[in-house]
Amino acid sequence: MSWKLIAKAEQRLANEIALLRPPHGGDLRVALGYPNTYHVGMSNLGLQVVYGILNQTPGVSCERFFLPDADEIEEYERHGRHLFSLESQQPLESFDLIALTCAYENDYTNVLRILDLAGLPLLAKDRGSEFPLVLVGGAITLLNPEPLADFVDLFSVGEAEGLVEDLVEALRSVRPLSRAEQRRALADVPGLYVPSLYEPIYEGPRLVALQPRDGAPASIAKNYISRDQFESINSSSWLLTEDTEFSHTFLMEVSRGCPYVCRFCTVGFSYPKVRWKPLERIWEDLQTVKQYKPRVGLISATVGNHPQIDQLCEGLMREGLGVSFSSLRADQLPDSILETLVRSGSKSMTLAPETGSETLRKSINKRFSDEQYFEAAGRAFDKGIKNLKMYSMVGLPNELDEDMDALVKLVEATRKLQVSRGQGGGRITLGLGLFVPKPLTPYQWNPMATLKLAEDRMRRVSSQLARVGGVKVNAEVPKTAILEGLQARADRRLGRVLLKVYKKPGYKNWLKALAEEGISLENELYRQREPDELLPWSHIASSWPKERLLKDSERARQQRFKETIAQ
């Protein structure tokens, strides 16, 4: 074993404030990981919530692992060692279950990299019962887990709370069985999806059927917890560390779901209802960590809508704790949030117009006006916010070139407002991202904007704003979004491509591997999908029926081109 790797693991543990550690003993050992680096993975609240659930389940001991940093990977390969857990530095292959929480499609290659570093056969069919079962959960399983289907024994679909207990009981009961028998038995647990029990059938480049066998269910129901259950659980950080995007921040989930169902966003379509964490429960969770004086990060799709937001902000300010907010809307931005930000020492905040055109904004169901945006930004500047980060997408359905000009005008007007409110020394930063059509939203049938169109529109905005003082444009690399979009809506044939690119997942390598496997971006990304074609994720239960999503997609088009249609 490399002492350098052990020393780094021990240093990370020493730098953490741990409210919970794995118990000693127990009959079921789980290695819980995130398919990215420690720095990224420890910024994910979902990982910490599952860590807490497992380590409070009787008889279960759960340890963490992450994708090693580049220098660590070299060390593993140089010494020929297998990936080990953080807490006890035991190889992953010695655990009963390897579980990963995956939030982003571009981390799929990292899942394979981790299995490889752990010394496991990459394909699930090549792993017998002498190897740990491999489970993947997280946000991607709510949408389309199919690209990972050949590498995973089972997916946890939906919310972890309420499912972990059934999973643990099932894992104990299937121990004496063969791997095939284990998978079949686990498929009977609600919320678990065993991909090997489904046979894909193709006609040319199209998936035409995904046939269940051995009595597997035709549709996978997602696991959801009730409002009362959500109110009672602890969904906050169990570990604090400086080595993360949210340095020394105690993350607290104050709501789950979103009432706005913006058509481009998966959150409103992934969860059947919005659930709010009551103030009493938030305070109870905060008591466990208050002595460490952490920064508090409130996690919500729309934190300004919390029915007790004013009292929450007042209490946090009274405690003298720094506060950050995960998502703010221009039409739900009470003064209490602004005052809390400023008193916490924040000089910057983010307001996302999503697009500069009011008509396009209404089309994507982001229902606030330019006037509301300016009103919110003006109050922020008046309260002491100096820098404003704006975010907008390009390549949205029904988008026109003139929408790019409207975005430029919106940014210019926001900068003028910033100067007029006495914050001219600050900066406006516009983040530009390429829209990715996601499964189970009204846009799941839409083509994605081409690389050329995305680059042209980003260039158009950037060049026009280059002449505006105090404004900076940060445009993402569209190729990254192209790969995200490819993986978001692909079927399990993409697994053959993942096998070829996972060690060097550069864009050129992707294109080469796609060509070798006969998979085209034109078919996967740049065509309008037909309403009656089978989508790779059709077996994953949707909160909205297909007919309702189709009607909403057409409603979006009509809202965008209302005047043209009327003529």
Residue 484 lies in a domain: no
Give the CATH number, domain containing residue 27. Answer: 3.40.50.280
Same domain, 202 and 298: no
> Would you state the pLDDT for residue 56?
96
- Are both 566 and 537 inside the same structural domain? yes
* Same domain for 415 and 274: no
Tokens representing 72 are 């660590």
- Total domains, the chain: 3
Residues of the chain with pLDDT under 50: 563-567
In a domain, 403, yes or no: yes
Residues 199 and 334 in one domain: no
85, 97 contact by CB (below 8 A) = no
Q: Provide the pLDDT for residue 559.
A: 86
> Within this chain, do residues 297 and 413 fall inside the same structural domain, yes or no?
no
Residues 302 and 370 in one domain: no
Annotate 358-383 with DSSP letters as a single string: HHHHHHTT----HHHHHHHHHHHHHH
> Tell me, what amino acid is at 180?
A
Does residue 567 lie within any of the structural domains?
Answer: yes
Strand partners, 158: 223
What does the alpha-carbon distance between residue 192 and residue 99 come to, in Å, rounded to a whole number?
A: 13
Boundary of a domain, candidates 323, 346, 369: 346
- CATH number of the domain encompassing residue 365: 3.30.750.200
Residue recorded with tokens 């920064």: 295
**What is residue 205's predicted lDDT score, i.e. its pLDDT?**
87
The contacts of residue 50 (CB under 8 Å, 6+ apart) are 32, 62, 99, 101, 137, 160, 164
Q: Which two tokens stand for residue 26?
A: 């127990």
Percent of the chain with pLDDT over 90: 91
The neighbouring-strand residues paired with 474 are 431
User: Domain range for residue 260?
Assistant: 226-346
Residue 402: inside a domain, yes or no? yes
Q: Where are the strands (E) in 81-171, listed by range?
A: 97-101, 133-137, 154-156
Q: Is residue 519 part of a domain?
A: no
Residue 495 lies in a domain: no
Q: How many Å apart are CA 532 and CA 538, to the nearest integer?
A: 11
Q: What is the CATH number of the domain that holds 270?
A: 3.30.750.210
Among the candidates 298, 319, 346, a domain finishes at 346
Do 46 and 90 belong to one domain? yes
98, part of any domain = yes
* Contacts of the segment 59-62: beta carbons below 8 A, 24+ positions apart: 59/26, 59/27, 59/28, 59/168, 60/26, 60/28, 60/29, 60/30, 60/168, 61/22, 61/23, 61/24, 61/25, 61/26, 61/28, 61/29, 61/30, 62/22, 62/29, 62/30, 62/31, 62/32
Question: Is 368 found in the same domain as 258?
Answer: no
* pLDDT score for 564: 47
Separation CA 517–CA 512 (nearest Å): 9
Q: Verify that 92 and 195 share a domain, yes or no.
A: yes
Sign of the four-CA dihedral 2, 30, 157, 177: positive
Domain boundary among 282, 314, 346: 346
- What pLDDT was estimated at residue 1? 56
Kindly state whether residues 174 and 93 are assigned to the same domain.
yes
Instruction: Report the alpha-carbon distance of residue 129 to residue 464 in Å, rounded.
Output: 60
Dihedral of the alpha carbons of 229, 230, 231, 237, in degrees to the nearest 10: 130
91, 8: one domain: yes
Residues 277 and 365 reside in one and the same domain: no
Q: What is the pLDDT of residue 566?
A: 46
**Which residue type is seen at 540?**
I
The answer to whether residue 500 is domain-embedded is no
